[in-house]
Amino acid sequence: MNNPEQITEASLEIVEKPHFYRTGWFVGCCVLLLAAGVFGAYQFRLGQLRARFRAVLEERNRLAREMHDTLIQGCTSVSALLEAHSSLGTRKQMPSMTC
């Protein structure tokens, strides 16, 4: 072994792997998770807006029905009064026509 020509070199390759948080798959998963969070928040807000819109429409419909019923009731009472007035008017006119 004293002969330098017979000495062989041994090499050892050292591979330094990056930490898991510096790998491409981890960054991709983080981007997907962030996109899913943004999409979830968007869907949640959209659901809130739809619920509020539905509540407003229901209230408008309730008010419209109430106003319609009130209007119809008023028209019916006016119609009944007109019929009563016309029937009273014809009774008064009949005796005066015969006299």
pLDDT tens per residue across span 48-79: 999 999 999 999 999 988 888 888 888 888 88
> Model's pTM, two decimal places?
0.53
- Tokens 């229901």 correspond to 58
The confidence score (pLDDT) of residue 49 equals 98
Give the E-state strand segments of 3-99 in sequence order: none
The DSSP 8-state label assigned to residue 54 in this structure reads H
- Tokens 């999409």 correspond to 39
Sequence-separated (6 or more) residues with CB below 8 Å from residue 20: 26
Interval 21-38 mean pLDDT: 96
Say how many residues make up the chain.
99
